[in-house]
Each structure stands twice: as C-alpha cells, then as structure tokens.
Amino acid sequence: MYIETNRLIIRDFIPDDLEGLHAIFGDEETMQNVEPAYTLLQTRDFLERFCIGQHGAVAAVHRESGQLIGYILCKEYEPEVYEIGWIFHRDFWRRGFAHEACSAVLHKLFTAYRAHKVFAEAIDAVKSVGLMRKLGMQPEGIQRSQTKDNHGRWTDLYFYGLLAEEYLAQR
C-alpha cells in the first residue's frame, strides 16, 4: 500500500523502520490502551513477523521530517472485511494525524481494495471511540468487562464498523 496525504506518506513497513516503530511501541504512555510497552526485541519480532511478513499494518511517515510517526493496523480479517487500528507517536497526538492517516486508508480499502466492511475495536472509550465516530464508523457493540488493561483491571471492549455503502454514501 502506498498513499500520500497532505502531511503523510502511508506505506508498507520495511526493516529500517525498527527504530521508529520502537519509539512508538516501546513507550508506556503510548501503549497504555493497547498492551504493555514492547522491548526492542519484541518490536523487531512484531515488525518482521506481522508488519512485514503478514502485511498486517502500514507505516505513517511524516512527509516533512521523514520520521515514522504511526502504526496503522490494516489487516484483512476475512475476505473483503478489514480490521483497522492505529498507534501514533505521542509527540504527534491531538494534531489530526491519526484521522488523516485512517481516512486515507479507509478510502483506499473501500475504493481500490473493494472492502465490504472495515471494523475497529478499542478499550479507550474517549480518544479511540471519538476517532472511530469521526471516521464515520458506527457502534456495533460493547463487550462488557471483556479484557484486562495494562494495570490488570477488567475493562470494556468497544466495537465499531463501517460498511462500504455507508462510506460511499458519505463521499
């Protein structure tokens, strides 16, 4: 996948992305609603196995600086159904980068890849759910007390989805 937006280049991950990805995945605050922060070895394994090996995610690169600033989960869950997710370097939070990147990926999935549906899940009921709604995704359910957060507390899991006909009607 390759997409250019006003401020980003969204592309497949490459081995040289290890340092940039670890700056995101190795940060406890950034990973607080995902899973515990990764070690460098865990990041390398995930990059090689999932991001590159399975083409399970794409990199969001800041056009101006060339810095990898975001990880975007973009995995075909089953034929024509994709899961999307995002984790951005915290220096770039609250500036619209996740929305810009995910909007571009959604457009590519629904137009070029002919996705029927794209869905997302999160335990963060504020920022992540807010972005899902801003992307036009619709609530599909809440699994109450479904999973534990990084502090071992049971938490809800929020599911949102967007169908091709809904996406295309918004355009």
Please state which CATH class domain 2-121 belongs to. Answer: alpha beta
Question: What pLDDT score does 99 carry?
Answer: 98
What pLDDT is stored for residue 139 in this prediction?
Answer: 97
Query: 170 pLDDT band (50/70/90 cuts)?
Result: confident
Residue 171 has pLDDT above 90, yes or no: no
Render 97-117 in DSSP notation, one character per residue. HHHHHHHHHHHHHHHTS--SE
What is the Cα–Cα distance from 146 to 83, expressed in whole angstroms?
19
Element spanning 158, H or E: strand 154-163
Q: pLDDT-based confidence at 150, cuts 50/70/90?
A: confident
Q: If you ran DSSP here, which 8-state letter would residue 136 be given?
A: T
Q: How confident is the model at residue 34 (pLDDT cuts 50, 70, 90)?
A: very high
pLDDT in tens, 53-77: 999 999 999 999 999 999 999 999 9
pLDDT tens column, 99-144: 999 999 999 999 999 999 999 999 988 899 999 999 999 999 999 9
Task: Show me where the domains of the chain are located.
Answer: 2-121
For residue 4, the tally of other CB atoms under 10 A from its CB is 12
Q: What is the mean pLDDT of residues 3-32?
A: 97
